[in-house]
Structure 1
């Protein structure tokens, strides 16, 4: 193919189909590979798969060519994801590396940051994560207490972060810190790119109720960063964080154009699993069970169409960026619904079934049911965004909106 020839989506699809069959292992539906993110071996395998995609010419499909991607439209990514269904994919790299952190750097980073970090991620050489939430902050991201003090050409970071997804496996993190304590809380923040193994970073893993240790907490003790670690502008970190949250809500809702493959808990495939579960548990002829499976299928159909419609409207400018909160909120509601339906169908098998995937996994998944309503900001925050930014309803009152942060009372 000459450089001037334009490969159609169908030509790309057929090339991907041939390449996948020859170069990537298929997933055994009876014994799929682990995808918890808890094990170093999983991450090494994900990186190896990403390197394989890159070598084959199927990595970074929607990222610009100048930063290591292919520079193609979302239709090409969708075609590849459809063809890759049933094959091993580096799913662990989808969130937060490719769907959140890399797009944020693409939108807000310097040319040096884009060329270094986007290319490294696309090649499978670098994992990017987020250092955002803090022990005292709750859902108030702008209330961060982690501080960054200027010392000549360097910045010195002190503070703590928590609930950092997969941070233990990462190389760099987008870290939000306060650089001006006399400005109102949204206007005194700066975003930094922090090397996770920097001296002074103490990273610890958190064990969750479902046994996972994917989440981490970090403590910063005089962590020194160079001046070019700033993403965006000094004291304009909220602009960067807002864009980052836009990508996170898009990713959580299932609308990111930068991810390849679908996870085992994709709510859009749940109804298919429920048909098999109903048959396995001898309930396929039960009218109530059939209604539950139908309800899951209906939500799946609506979710697929909602993602396409909202993503296209935001891309064209018909809807503003906060509209991605619609798919983020619907994802949470759909995930809750599927979790509840799965548990009802599994019954006692959800707590006493065979070890491994299947009904018992539905019981374990129920323990972390709340996660869907928290990732990318809480569902309550999504409703606020929808009401204020889309429906133009009055903004929620905030007593500290224009008050210097040094005068704001906080638990820290």
Structure 2
């Protein structure tokens, strides 16, 4: 393996020179893939995560890990143009893309913004080395879209904190080393004011984890039960009872990641089978509809939306960066991503017809299988309805939506018993 860690951190290197160096290094060190038949990692299995850790270690040793993360935490501290250049050069190579979400783009990004100096140095460096995988522990069985309404509790003790409660729909939690867990630490104040974020070791005593089997057969998501899980004060992220600020930053990064607008993602490949863009040219050929004007128009419409989404991601990223749009504008690409992906899946199934729902021995049934989970695209990073509210209130300046529990101590809020 070529050792180029120090070279990758060289200051003053142009984007073009960086891309050329990456091209040479990739050819010498990373496994090539067939662009026509790329690997399709199943995020619900252990093997792909072990493989991803190994590949990440190779990237780190070569000096191409964490291109946009600060150098003091193990990254290169370079602008997003360098990451894009690397992505373009690496498109025909196998990369650990399943580590992008939620480890790099959400959890590590949140630690970078809100963690202590010790937490940044420990965990960001560890994920860039391939030593740690991080997970979000936010949603709860009785929580719905009301993230601030969590009832998992953290009670202070002489030694630190004790966690009790449950989380659900945790993406790839079975593969994670640490989780960012939002818990209630004060029940006597309004719901947003009594929360604290914790960094929880996933192998802690008292954590029971179960897989959730989805309609498409995937077992990627998990639910976790916390029974007297003990944590020290060093597990607190941000300030005690100010966890909503951390959670808000976390969901900001999640919406950008889901929309494809995070500078901390590495590689252009899909993170799994369900993330792969529809190849409409191949689909029309396989269904014998390439000469149909109507079908070509359907496919063309979906492809136009895809291109517009890609351009919108760049526009929103730059606008937030230069301050012409607030950070909440990340919800725009979260919505348009969901709409674009759903249009592609709907179009693909319409073209495949019965071959997408009845297994005839070919590959077309894959489009029907993907359709089963199409609605999940509108849920990741918060529901589309929540995202529209954020845009209305925080980007357009509309009046806030009425909330009956605003300003009411959480222990006085009426809620459904879990």
Q: TM-score range by the shorter chain?
A: over 0.9
Residue pairs, 1:280-299, within 5 angstroms: 280-299=286-305
TM-score normalised to the size of structure 2? 0.95
CA-based RMSD of the aligned residues comes to 1.7
* Equivalent residue, structure 2, for 1:115: 121
Matched, 1:128 2:134: yes
Matched, 1:278 2:295: no
Contact persistence 2:132–2:177 (CA under 8 A): yes
* Equivalent residue, structure 2, for 1:321: 327
Matched, 1:378 2:393: no
Q: Deviations over 1:209-268 (max 9, x none)?
A: 000000000000000001010000000000000000000000000000001112437999
* Equivalent residue, structure 2, for 1:362: 367
Contact persistence 1:268–1:304 (CA under 8 A): no
* Equivalent residue, structure 2, for 1:81: 87
- Structure 2 unmatched ranges of 5 or more: 1-6
Pair 1:388–1:241, CA change in 2 (3 A):
same
Contact persistence 2:184–2:195 (CA under 8 A): yes
Matched, 1:106 2:112: yes
* Equivalent residue, structure 1, for 2:243: 237
Contact persistence 1:267–1:334 (CA under 8 A): no
Contact persistence 2:156–2:162 (CA under 8 A): yes
SS in 1 for 2:226: strand
Pair 1:380–1:224, CA change in 2 (3 A):
same
Residue pairs, 1:42-191, within 5 angstroms: 42-191=48-197
* Equivalent residue, structure 2, for 1:27: 33
Pair 1:145–1:21, CA change in 2 (3 A):
same
Q: How far does residue 38 in structure 1 lie from its aligned partner after superposition?
A: 1.2
* Equivalent residue, structure 2, for 1:256: 262
SS in 2 for 1:270: coil
Q: Distance in 1 between matches of 2:260 and 2:40?
A: 21
Q: Deviations over 1:64-105 (max 9, x none)?
A: 010010111100011111111121110110000000000000
Q: Compare 401-410 and 387-396 and name the one that shifted more.
A: 387-396
Q: Distance in 1 between matches of 2:357 and 2:8?
A: 58
402, 405, 413: which one aligns with 1:400: 405
Q: How far does residue 2 in structure 1 lie from its aligned partner after superposition?
A: 11
SS in 1 for 2:357: helix
Contact persistence 1:268–1:301 (CA under 8 A): no
SS in 2 for 1:352: coil
Q: Deviations over 1:259-285 (max 9, x none)?
A: 1112437999836x1011101211001
SS in 2 for 1:347: helix
Q: Distance in 2 between matches of 1:61 and 1:393?
A: 38
Q: Deviations over 1:380-401 (max 9, x none)?
A: 0111111111111111100101
Q: Distance in 1 between matches of 2:156 and 2:275?
A: 47
Q: Deviations over 1:31-61 (max 9, x none)?
A: 4323221111111001001001001110010
Pair 1:5–1:241, CA change in 2 (3 A):
closer
Q: Distance in 2 between matches of 1:2 and 1:240?
A: 32
* Equivalent residue, structure 1, for 2:4: none
SS in 1 for 2:210: strand
- Structure 1 unmatched ranges of 5 or more: none
Q: How far does residue 300 in structure 1 lie from its aligned partner after superposition?
A: 1.2
